[in-house]
Amino acid sequence: MIKKIYSGYRPGKPGLEKVLGSLESKVMEVIWSKGAEVSVRDVYETLALRREIAYTTVMTIMGRLAEKKLLKKRKEGNAFLFTPAVEKDEFTAQMVDNVVDDLLADFSDAALASFINRVGKKDRESIEKLEKMLKTAREENDGDLG
Protein backbone atom coordinates (compact mmCIF):
# COMPACT_ATOMS: atom_id res chain seq x y z
CA MET A 1 0.00 0.00 0.00
CA ILE A 2 1.22 3.50 -0.89
CA LYS A 3 1.26 5.67 2.22
CA LYS A 4 2.05 9.36 2.47
CA ILE A 5 4.21 9.60 -0.63
CA TYR A 6 2.73 12.94 -1.52
CA SER A 7 3.93 16.24 -0.12
CA GLY A 8 0.46 17.57 0.51
CA TYR A 9 -3.00 17.81 -0.88
CA ARG A 10 -3.51 20.67 -3.32
CA PRO A 11 -7.25 21.01 -3.90
CA GLY A 12 -7.00 23.61 -6.68
CA LYS A 13 -4.94 21.36 -8.95
CA PRO A 14 -6.36 18.99 -11.57
CA GLY A 15 -6.31 15.18 -11.28
CA LEU A 16 -3.18 13.58 -9.89
CA GLU A 17 -1.56 16.99 -9.45
CA LYS A 18 -3.59 17.19 -6.26
CA VAL A 19 -1.07 14.77 -4.70
CA LEU A 20 1.89 14.65 -7.10
CA GLY A 21 3.86 17.39 -8.77
CA SER A 22 2.77 18.53 -12.21
CA LEU A 23 5.57 16.78 -14.06
CA GLU A 24 5.42 13.70 -11.82
CA SER A 25 1.75 13.24 -12.66
CA LYS A 26 2.40 13.66 -16.40
CA VAL A 27 5.21 11.09 -16.28
CA MET A 28 3.02 8.62 -14.38
CA GLU A 29 0.17 9.13 -16.86
CA VAL A 30 2.51 8.34 -19.76
CA ILE A 31 3.86 5.23 -18.05
CA TRP A 32 0.41 3.96 -17.12
CA SER A 33 -0.83 4.57 -20.68
CA LYS A 34 2.07 2.59 -22.19
CA GLY A 35 1.03 -0.53 -20.29
CA ALA A 36 4.53 -2.00 -20.55
CA GLU A 37 8.05 -1.54 -19.31
CA VAL A 38 9.44 1.81 -20.49
CA SER A 39 12.76 3.58 -20.72
CA VAL A 40 13.41 7.23 -19.93
CA ARG A 41 13.70 7.76 -23.70
CA ASP A 42 10.17 6.32 -24.23
CA VAL A 43 8.67 8.73 -21.72
CA TYR A 44 10.79 11.66 -22.90
CA GLU A 45 9.71 11.18 -26.53
CA THR A 46 6.04 11.09 -25.57
CA LEU A 47 6.28 14.19 -23.36
CA ALA A 48 8.40 16.06 -25.94
CA LEU A 49 5.50 15.82 -28.40
CA ARG A 50 3.38 17.93 -26.02
CA ARG A 51 5.91 20.32 -24.48
CA GLU A 52 9.51 21.40 -24.47
CA ILE A 53 11.36 19.30 -21.92
CA ALA A 54 14.90 18.10 -21.30
CA TYR A 55 15.76 14.41 -21.32
CA THR A 56 17.64 14.85 -18.03
CA THR A 57 14.54 16.36 -16.41
CA VAL A 58 12.50 13.28 -17.32
CA MET A 59 15.32 11.05 -16.05
CA THR A 60 15.40 12.93 -12.71
CA ILE A 61 11.63 12.77 -12.26
CA MET A 62 11.54 9.04 -13.02
CA GLY A 63 14.35 8.46 -10.53
CA ARG A 64 12.41 10.34 -7.86
CA LEU A 65 9.26 8.37 -8.62
CA ALA A 66 11.27 5.17 -8.17
CA GLU A 67 12.61 6.49 -4.82
CA LYS A 68 8.99 7.16 -3.80
CA LYS A 69 8.20 3.54 -4.71
CA LEU A 70 5.75 4.52 -7.45
CA LEU A 71 8.00 3.00 -10.10
CA LYS A 72 10.09 -0.14 -10.15
CA LYS A 73 13.33 0.08 -12.07
CA ARG A 74 15.82 -2.41 -13.35
CA LYS A 75 19.05 -1.94 -15.20
CA GLU A 76 19.49 -3.35 -18.69
CA GLY A 77 22.81 -2.54 -20.29
CA ASN A 78 23.43 1.18 -19.86
CA ALA A 79 19.78 2.06 -19.39
CA PHE A 80 17.12 1.67 -16.74
CA LEU A 81 13.69 0.28 -17.52
CA PHE A 82 10.67 1.25 -15.44
CA THR A 83 7.29 -0.26 -14.64
CA PRO A 84 4.56 1.11 -12.38
CA ALA A 85 4.74 -0.27 -8.85
CA VAL A 86 0.98 0.15 -8.64
CA GLU A 87 -1.78 0.47 -11.24
CA LYS A 88 -3.47 3.84 -11.68
CA ASP A 89 -6.82 2.77 -10.19
CA GLU A 90 -5.12 1.37 -7.10
CA PHE A 91 -2.94 4.48 -6.71
CA THR A 92 -5.97 6.74 -7.01
CA ALA A 93 -7.93 4.72 -4.45
CA GLN A 94 -5.00 4.77 -2.01
CA MET A 95 -4.52 8.53 -2.40
CA VAL A 96 -8.22 9.14 -1.76
CA ASP A 97 -7.97 6.92 1.33
CA ASN A 98 -4.93 8.90 2.55
CA VAL A 99 -6.60 12.28 2.06
CA VAL A 100 -9.86 11.15 3.67
CA ASP A 101 -7.95 9.60 6.60
CA ASP A 102 -6.13 12.92 7.13
CA LEU A 103 -9.38 14.89 7.01
CA LEU A 104 -11.15 12.51 9.39
CA ALA A 105 -8.22 12.55 11.82
CA ASP A 106 -8.28 16.33 12.13
CA PHE A 107 -11.82 17.34 11.17
CA SER A 108 -14.01 14.27 11.59
CA ASP A 109 -17.41 15.88 12.13
CA ALA A 110 -16.92 18.58 9.50
CA ALA A 111 -15.58 16.10 6.94
CA LEU A 112 -18.50 13.70 7.42
CA ALA A 113 -21.07 16.50 7.36
CA SER A 114 -19.58 17.92 4.16
CA PHE A 115 -19.57 14.52 2.47
CA ILE A 116 -23.19 13.82 3.43
CA ASN A 117 -24.29 17.29 2.26
CA ARG A 118 -22.59 16.79 -1.10
CA VAL A 119 -24.00 13.30 -1.63
CA GLY A 120 -27.43 14.58 -0.60
CA LYS A 121 -27.29 17.07 -3.47
CA LYS A 122 -26.55 14.32 -6.01
CA ASP A 123 -29.01 12.06 -7.77
CA ARG A 124 -30.98 9.31 -6.06
CA GLU A 125 -28.63 6.64 -7.43
CA SER A 126 -25.66 8.13 -5.52
CA ILE A 127 -27.67 8.15 -2.30
CA GLU A 128 -28.68 4.52 -2.82
CA LYS A 129 -25.02 3.54 -3.40
CA LEU A 130 -24.05 5.26 -0.17
CA GLU A 131 -26.85 3.51 1.74
CA LYS A 132 -25.67 0.11 0.43
CA MET A 133 -22.08 0.88 1.38
CA LEU A 134 -23.14 1.92 4.88
CA LYS A 135 -25.21 -1.25 5.26
CA THR A 136 -22.24 -3.40 4.22
CA ALA A 137 -19.95 -1.55 6.62
CA ARG A 138 -22.43 -2.05 9.49
CA GLU A 139 -22.72 -5.76 8.72
CA GLU A 140 -18.93 -6.15 8.64
CA ASN A 141 -18.55 -4.28 11.92
CA ASP A 142 -21.31 -6.35 13.57
CA GLY A 143 -19.43 -9.51 12.54
CA ASP A 144 -16.27 -8.16 14.18
CA LEU A 145 -18.10 -7.62 17.47
CA GLY A 146 -19.51 -11.14 17.73
Please give the average per-residue pLDDT across 53-72, as a whole number: 95
Identify the architecture of domain 15-86 in CATH: Orthogonal Bundle (1.10)
Q: What is the pLDDT, as a whole number, of residue 38?
A: 97
- Which are the contacts of 45, defined by CB distance < 8 A and separation ≥ 6? none
Instruction: Write down the pTM of the prediction.
Output: 0.76
**Those residues with Cβ within 8 angstroms of residue 68's Cβ, 6 or more apart along the chain or in another chain:** 5
pLDDT tens, 74-107? 999 998 999 999 999 999 888 888 888 888 889 9
Q: What is the mean pLDDT of residues 106-115?
A: 87
Residue 5 has pLDDT above 70, yes or no: no
Q: What are the extents of the domains in the chain?
A: 15-86, 89-145
Kindly report, residue by residue over 24-33, the tens digit of the pLDDT.
999 999 999 9
pLDDT of residue 2: 55
